[in-house]
Amino acid sequence: MELITDKHIKAKLTQMEQPYFISVKNICLSYNNFPVLENISFQIKKNEITTIVGPSGTGKSSLLYAFNRMTDFNPNVQVTGHIYCCNENYLTTKDIATVRSKFGLVFQKPNPFPVSIYKNLDIPLRENSKLSKTARKEKIISCLMSVGLWEEVKDRLNQPAQQLSGGQQQRLCIARCLVLDPELILMDEPTSSLDPISEAKIEELMVKLKDKVTILLVTHKMNQMRKVSDNVIVFWPKNNKTEVLTYGTVDQVLYKKDNNTFVSQYLNS
Partner 1 sequence: MKNKIFILTSWLSFFTFFAIFFAVTGNIIFTGLDNFSFSFLFNTFNNSGRDGGISTIIISTLIIVAFALFVSVIISILSAICIDYFSKNIRITKILKLSIDTLSATPSIVFGLIGNIIFCEFLGLGYSLISGSLTLALMILPIQTRIILIGLNSVPKDIRLGAYALNLKPFTSYFRIKIHLIKKQILSGTFMGLGRSLAETAALLFTSGYGVKMPSSLLDSGRTLSIHIYDLAMNVPGGNENAYKSALTLILLVFIISLITATIQRRFNLGQQEFVWN
Distance, in Å, from the CA atom of 136 to the CA atom of 139, rounded to the nearest integer, reads 5
Considering only 18-26, 42-50, 79-87, 118-126, which stretch makes contact with partner 1 by CB under 8 A? 118-126
Binding-site member from 105, 117, 234, 267 for partner 1 (CB under 8 A): 105
- In sequence order, the 6+-apart residues with CB closer than 8 A to the CB of 95 are none
Residue 201 binds partner 1 (CB under 8 A): no
Contact 27, 83 (CB under 8 A): yes
Cβ 124 to partner 1, closest distance in Å?
4
Look at residue 201 and give its three-state secondary structure.
helix
- Residue 78 interacts with partner 1 (CB under 8 A): yes or no: no
Contact 24, 235 (CB under 8 A): no
| Contact positions with partner 1 (CB under 8 A) in 32-71 | 68, 70
Beta-strand pair 88-89/231-238 = unpaired
Nearer to partner 1, 29 or 179 (CB): 179
* Residue among 29 and 173 whose Cβ is closer to partner 1: 173
Per CB under 8 A, the list member of 15, 89, 111, 264 interacting with partner 1 is 111
* Distance from C-alpha of 216 to C-alpha of 49, rounded to nearest angstrom: 6
In the bound complex, what is the minimum distance in angstroms from residue 113's beta carbon to partner 1? 5
- Is 132 exposed, middle or buried, given 0-12, 13-18 or 19+ CB atoms closer than 10 A? exposed
Please name the residue ranges forming H helices in 70-165. 96-102, 117-128, 133-146, 150-153
| 250: amino acid identity, one letter | V
Of 120 and 229, CB closest to partner 1: 120
Contacting range for partner 1; rule: CB under 8 A; set: 2-10, 35-43, 82-90, 115-123? 115-123
Stretch that binds partner 1, among 19-27, 54-62, 155-163, 214-222 (CB under 8 A): 155-163
Does 104 bind partner 1 (CB under 8 A)? Our answer is yes
> Binding mask 124-153 vs partner 1 (x if CB under 8 A, - otherwise)?
x--xx-------------------------
